[in-house]
Homo-oligomer: A and B are copies of this chain.
């Protein structure tokens, strides 16, 4: 594979740095138009992109098509967010000589501005949505930041094709040259991350890789925000009521969720807590084999095999299914997990661990034992007191709490939250999916006593751009 040389990296980052001012200063409508131009160009080259992705990833064509749809939808959704201007979080405090702090309040007008050039470490499992023109690129560009993508080694040709389409789209807009760039190779990625002109980083991938990059970002002489999504166990808790009332439905959902995209999702459940001797447990044990597709590449396959082996080697773990072309099922008792929480780890592929609990008290104890998570799902009945407790426990540990639903599949919306306390992410206050992802790449600036004609137009008294604002702490009606 061709790797970007240090000289090339420096030139790409310098171009991004040079583009930062002009891109930040572009009209919001023009910035939005550039995002839409990227989406249009990707859509126009659908067949070429799907073919390239199929060659490099083993993902089924239908999945890839859904993913590309989602990717261009996402770009257009961020265009809409940019045009609306709400993300600027404009706040106006007119001068107030009677301000009860005891000192007159000067005129203060605040908005958000882009952080500067962002490096986006592309992921391997979603070659469109989490890669070159994926969520982190869309949200950073939307925020007004140039983006340098570090291509994922799993799909270099698709990355090259996507980057070319993005660049071609941008050339036809008023976007400055250099606002988008791409580098290949691990050393190149590290060089971008540690380059003084880079202001923030986004990453989706493994805990080990993400932590290593987080450490680099934090140890820079000028540390930068590192938004890492490092994966998650995504525990699912099934109450005894639900396990009896809906055994067949929950079992079917479990196999569908664990096998989706061959289990190569950061939201795949790695643990499903079920009552021992329950209808659900019998249903799961008796279910027909669920076939799964090939894994993304040899490295992923090797990693998956290793993680399943490591768990299977534990004497407290029983292997229920281990056919190589089907969902792997392991099983253990809750007390085994409670005695050794390190037993539980992410298995990136189509496998899950059934954790058998004896009673509601043990289920609650189990739920309380987990670290930070992207998702926690609860299957229960509305009347169920344990379910209520589990929801509260889940909200204290996860970014997304689901009821009678499986965590695989993340809708891109205004309210979505894809994040969570460490180790799910390195930045629990942020999301990497949904429109709120734009907030990661912004910082506030307040203008004090600046006359109207010298203010950015977003902050002027007449509000010429009609951007939503709060005045004196509340929204004008």
A414-B451 in contact (CB<8A): no
Q: Does A121 contact B (CB under 8 A)?
A: no
CA distance A230 to B382 in the complex (A): 50
B454→A387 contact, CB < 8 A: yes
Residues of B contacting A69 in the complex (Cβ-Cβ under 8 angstroms): 101-102
Task: Tell whether, in the assembled complex, residue B218 and residue A411 are in contact, meaning their CB atoms are under 8 Å apart.
Answer: no
Q: A219 to nearest B CB, angstroms? A: 8
- Are A445 and B398 within 8 A (Cβ)? yes
Nearest chain B CB to A371 CB, angstrom units: 8
- The answer to whether A472 has its CB under 8 Å from any CB of chain B is yes
Interface string of A409-445 (1 = CB under 8 A from B): 1011111110111110011110100011001101111
Q: Kindly state whether residue A115 has any CB partner on chain B within 8 Å.
A: yes
Copies of this chain present in the complex amount to: 2
**Chain B residue nearest to A469 in the complex (CB):** B415
Taking a contact as CB atoms under 8 Å apart, the answer to whether B446 and A223 are in contact is: no
Q: A402-B447, A417-B445 are in contact. List 5 more A-B contacts (CB 8 A).
A: A103-B409, A108-B415, A108-B416, A222-B422, A225-B427
Q: A: which residues have CB within 8 A of B?
A: 21, 24, 66, 69-70, 73-74, 80-81, 84, 86, 91-93, 99-103, 105-106, 108-110, 113, 115, 199, 214-215, 218-219, 222-225, 371-372, 382, 387-388, 391, 395-396, 398-405, 409, 411-417, 419-423, 426-429, 431, 435-436, 439-440, 442-451, 453-454, 456, 468, 470, 472-475, 477
8 shortest interchain CB distances as A-B pairs: A414-B473, A91-B415, A417-B446, A218-B218, A110-B415, A403-B450, A93-B415, A108-B415
